[in-house]
Amino acid sequence: MGPKGVVGLAGALIVVLLVLSSVYIIPETHRGVKLRFGELVETDMQAGLHFKVPVIDQIREFDIRVLTMDLPSRQYLTIEKKPLDVDSYIAWKIRDVDQFYRATGGDEYRAQSLLLSRVDNGLRDEFGVRTMVEVVSGQRDELMHTLRDRVNETSLKEFGIEVLDIRVKAIEFPGEVSQNVYRRMATEREKLAQEFRSRGRELAEGIRADADRQRTVILAEAFAEAEETRGEGDGEAARIYADAYGANEEFYSFYRSLQAYQNTFSSKDDIMVIDSNSDFLRFLKDPQGGR
């Protein structure tokens, strides 16, 4: 290749490099601004193919998608002067690229710092006019919506940033407050448990007294029924004995005497002192009973 060919090839390469350095593409998820010698000459550059002057122009691109930022845990006082440790986060996006660059210099970390300051002040103000119950449960959603609208209005005007959402992830008591709360809760629960125990004992005493009363009534009725049955049995036995005695008085007298002997002389160690002419021994002396 001759000298002219080398010069031509070098010229072509220079042209290609100039063209490549003059053309750039902004992604669909980004917007850009053009700086010339450090001065802002074009803002809110849309996605697509663009041209610039090499070396002289500089392009800055910014992500316009929704971004989130976790805020460090901070302590705020409620209207009752009770401290609460709060963890929260912000969802935000760049709405006005021109205003964003002018306010932050295109530094995302500076933008986050500015948002953090606004949200921190807003949370302190909102917690300061509400009770602990309201910020924990009662008016939590209302607090977040109010704060989001306030911060969004300021940040959109000053920084070109739209705040889409502000949410509290967790609200906790500081260590010493937690201990006091737990002790109070334990005391209240113990008091409630004691009330339930007292009611239980009272109910148990009532049930036990009713059971004792029913037991007494049942035993009395059973005793009365048993006495009545025993009386009927004794009467029936007396009638049977009377019928038997009337049927054969001599045999019945003999049978009763044998039973008396058996019961009297059941033990060898028994001793009886009695007149031999006693009527009790008449069947021992004469099987006919002295007839």
- Can you tell me the distance from the alpha carbon of 85 to that of 198, in angstroms, rounded to the nearest whole number? 39
Q: What is the CB neighbour count within 10 angstroms for residue 148?
A: 19
Count Cβ atoms within 10 A of the Cβ of residue 151 and give its class: 0-12 exposed, 13-18 middle, 19 or more buried.
buried
The position carrying tokens 């036995």 is 237
- Can you tell me the distance from the alpha carbon of 5 to that of 11, in angstroms, rounded to the nearest whole number? 10
pLDDT means per 10 residues, the chain with 291 residues, are: 61 60 81 83 81 80 88 87 87 90 87 90 88 78 87 91 89 69 78 89 90 91 90 85 71 73 69 65 60 50
| Amino acid at the residue 204 | A
Contacts for 155 with CB less than 8 Å, ≥ 6 apart? 92, 114, 115, 118, 161, 162, 163
- Can you tell me the distance from the alpha carbon of 163 to that of 151, in angstroms, rounded to the nearest whole number? 7
* 67-172 carries CATH number 3.90.400.10: no
The position carrying tokens 């049942």 is 218
Residue 63: its pLDDT value, please?
A: 87
Q: What is the CB neighbour count within 10 angstroms for residue 240?
A: 10
- Can you tell me the distance from the alpha carbon of 177 to that of 183, in angstroms, rounded to the nearest whole number? 10
Domain boundaries, the chain: 10-63, 67-172, 261-291
CB-based contact 115:151 (threshold 8 Å): yes
Residue 279: its pLDDT value, please?
A: 65
- The residues that bridge with 61 in the sheet, in sequence order, are 32
